[in-house]
Every structure is written in C-alpha cells, then in structure tokens.
C-alpha cells in the first residue's frame, strides 16, 4: 500500500515538475526571448567567431581585442547588408505590385466581370425577361464592391509595407546591440564562462558541458539540413524558371531562394503574387506554370524538411513534423526551430541518462 502511495506521489511530483518547466519555457520563449534576443544573438556570434578570432590572433599576430572588433564588424556588416538589401528589394517589389492592383482591376478584372455578367444577363433575358434588371443591379453592385475591396487591400498592404520600412530603425538598433554585445562576449568569453561555471555544482557543470556538446552538434546539423533544403529550393526554382522561359532565371531563382530563408516570408511571397498578376493580365500559361511550380516546391519542401532535419539530428520525421507544427502554433514562427531543438535536447539527455544507468 505504501509502495503504491509513494509511486503516486512521485508521479504527481514529476507531472507538476514537468508542468512548471513547460510553463517557464512557454513564458521564456513567448515573452522574455524577444527582450534578450540581441544579446543571445551576440553570444552565439561570439561562439561562432571564436575559432577565427583565435586563428587571427595566433597566426597573424593581431591583438585579441582588435581581432574581435574586426571580425565582429565584418560579420555583421555582411549579414546586415544582405538582409537589408533583400528586405528592401522584396518590399519594393511587393509595394509596386500591390500599388498597381487598382489599375490591374480596371484594365483586366472589371472587363472580364462585365463580360461574364453580360452573358448571364443575355441568358436570363431569354429565360425570364423580368430578371434582366436584377442581373444589371447585381453587376453594378458587384463591380463597385470588388473595386472597393481591391483598393482597400492595396492601401492596407502599402500601409503595412511602409510601416515595415519605418520599423527598420528598430531592427538596426537591435543589430547594433547584437554587434556591441558580441564584441564584449568575444573579448571576455573565457572569463565569462569560467565565472559562470564556478557558480555551479559539479553535477550541474557536467550537465552544462554535456548540453554544450549537444547544442553544438545540433546547431551544425541544423545548418547542414537547411543548407540542403536551400540548395533543393534553388535547383527547383532554377530548373522550373528555365523550363518556363523566364529571363535571368538563375539570378531570379537565387533571389527567391534567399528570400525563402527570411522568417515568415518564403518563396510564396514572390511566386504567388507573380502568378496571380500574370493570370489577371491574361498570361494564363505563365500564371499556371508559376502556380504549378510553387505547388511542387511546397510539396517537396513539406516532404523533405521533416525527413532531412529529422535524419540529421536523429529524430523520426513524424516526431519532427509534429514538433514543428506544435511549435508554430504555440510560439509562432520561431517555434518551428525552438521546439524541435528542445525535443532533440530532451532526447539527448534521456539517452545519456539511460546510458549512465546501464
């Protein structure tokens, strides 16, 4: 009886412990992560640049602090320039595209709708002459409503894109904080890590070292996985656009593939509006070909992503797919990456503990 009661107590304690950990994790990722993200980026950039800093200071006899500043500034300059260039280009394309929606509606959509309703009116007149006026009223009402909706969408999207451009100073401030923090982290990384490690118990230190090895391994495998996916996307786009007959297909494919790396956006940001505009303009073949290309890319991506990422980090593709979806629903876009990483870390710790017990 006492054994059963003890088991129940242990089970309840474990459930409460897990629930508390899950709640803290949710709060941290959902709210705290946004506040400290520039410093987290700075820390990981310092870790990333550490081998290059050591190489530069040892082999080229450059002072450690000078090597840190040179490499950090160069790294952020390249990354920031590429992100801003791609972002401005994407915003410019979208802004121009949506700004022309009212003209596209007037030139292409409205005549198509009027032609359709004219045929419907003629058919109705033959069947029931009394319905002719009703159809005419429907035509006028529909055209007016559609025009209002198109204009509204256009203005709202332009407002959103303009606000995105206006928010660039905030992005630049976060980038500046990341640069400064990564420089400070890189200069005193050994001292910082040694000080933190001294505050921990022997058991906690061992777990931190194990976690570090696991995190580095996972990070490298993640980079490898998404490099493969990016290459697949670029090849699909290049082949598809070449077959369709798009000018500068390789360059266009490279730009769209790079946009695919940006949060939330993806290839659909360019391909879907492009396809719709071509269909509206009457270029049905090109519009359909672009739509088919996008559908094929989405299908291939959804099939390959869980398999490639799961295979690289040792998790079943179904578990990886579920963790990506749940992460997206709970934490938003960042959850697509965070929850699978947590899954892999938990799996790694479980396997290590299992090995130790054996």
The per-residue pLDDT string of the chain (358 residues; one tens digit each, 9 = 90 and over) reads 556 666 677 667 767 777 777 777 777 766 777 778 788 888 888 888 888 888 888 888 788 888 888 888 888 888 878 777 766 766 666 666 666 666 666 666 666 666 766 666 666 666 556 665 665 666 666 666 665 665 555 566 666 666 666 666 777 787 788 888 888 888 888 888 888 788 878 877 887 787 777 777 777 777 788 788 888 889 998 998 898 888 888 888 888 887 776 555 567 778 888 888 788 777 888 888 888 999 998 888 888 877 777 776 666 667 777 877 787 777 776 677 777 777 777 776 666 666 655 5
Are residue 139 and residue 227 in the same domain, yes or no?
no
- Assess contact for 334 and 29: CB atoms under 8 A: yes
Are residue 213 and residue 135 in the same domain, yes or no?
no
Are residue 220 and residue 155 in the same domain, yes or no?
no
* Structural domain contains residue 76: no
Are residue 122 and residue 227 in the same domain, yes or no?
no
- Listed residue (72, 73, 79) closest to 50, CA to CA: 72
Q: Say what the pTM is.
A: 0.55
Query: CA-CA distance, 339 to 28, in Å (whole number)?
Result: 13
* Structural domain contains residue 99: no
Are residue 225 and residue 322 in the same domain, yes or no?
yes
Are residue 210 and residue 117 in the same domain, yes or no?
no
* Structural domain contains residue 92: no
* Structural domain contains residue 68: no
* Structural domain contains residue 344: yes
* Structural domain contains residue 239: yes
Query: CA-CA distance, 39 to 179, in Å (whole number)?
Result: 9
Are residue 159 and residue 212 in the same domain, yes or no?
no
Are residue 231 and residue 158 in the same domain, yes or no?
no
- Exposure string for 179-196, b = 16+ CB within 10 A, e = fewer: bebbbbbbbebeeeeeee
Q: What are phi and psi of 42, to 5 degrees?
A: -60, -40
Residue numbers of the domain that contains 276: 200-352
Are residue 346 and residue 249 in the same domain, yes or no?
yes
Q: What is the count of structural domains for the chain?
A: 2
Are residue 147 and residue 273 in the same domain, yes or no?
no
């Amino acid at each position: 009886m006492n054994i059963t009661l003890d088991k129940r107590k242990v089970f309840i304690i474990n459930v409460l412990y897990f629930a508390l950990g899950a709640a803290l994790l949710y709060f941290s990722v959902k709210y705290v992560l946004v506040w400290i993200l520039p410093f987290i980026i700075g820390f990981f950039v310092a870790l990333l640049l550490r081998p290059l800093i050591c190489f530069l200071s040892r082999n080229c006899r450059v002072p450690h602090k000078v090597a840190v500043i040179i490499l950090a500034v160069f790294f952020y300059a390249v990354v920031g320039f590429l992100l801003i260039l791609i972002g401005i280009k994407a915003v410019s394309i979208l802004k121009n595209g949506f700004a022309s929606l009212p003209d596209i509606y007037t030139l292409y959509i409205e005549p198509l709708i009027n032609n359709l309703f004219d045929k419907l009116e003629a058919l109705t007149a033959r069947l029931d002459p009394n319905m002719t006026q009703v159809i005419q009223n429907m035509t006028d009402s529909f055209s007016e409503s559609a025009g209002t909706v198109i204009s509204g969408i256009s203005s709202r999207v332009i407002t959103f894109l303009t606000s995105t451009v206006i928010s660039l100073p905030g992005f630049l401030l976060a980038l500046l904080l990341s640069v400064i923090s990564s420089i400070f982290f890189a200069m005193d990384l050994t001292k910082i890590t040694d000080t933190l490690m001294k505050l921990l118990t022997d058991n906690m230190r061992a777990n931190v070292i194990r976690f570090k090895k696991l995190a580095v391994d996972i990070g490298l495998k993640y980079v490898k996985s998404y490099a493969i996916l990016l290459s697949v996307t670029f090849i699909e786009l290049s082949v598809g656009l070449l077959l369709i007959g798009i000018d500068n297909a390789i360059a266009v494919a490279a730009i769209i593939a790079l946009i695919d790396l940006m949060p939330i956006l993806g290839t659909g940001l360019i391909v879907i509006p492009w396809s719709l505009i071509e269909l509206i303009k009457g270029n049905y073949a090109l519009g359909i070909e672009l739509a088919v290309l996008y559908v094929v890319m989405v299908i291939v991506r959804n099939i390959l992503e869980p398999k490639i990422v799961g295979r690289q980090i040792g998790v079943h593709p179904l578990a990886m797919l579920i963790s990506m979806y749940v992460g997206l629903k709970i934490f938003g876009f960042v959850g697509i990456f965070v929850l699978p990483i947590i899954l892999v870390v938990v799996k790694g710790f479980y396997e290590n503990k299992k090995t130790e017990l054996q």
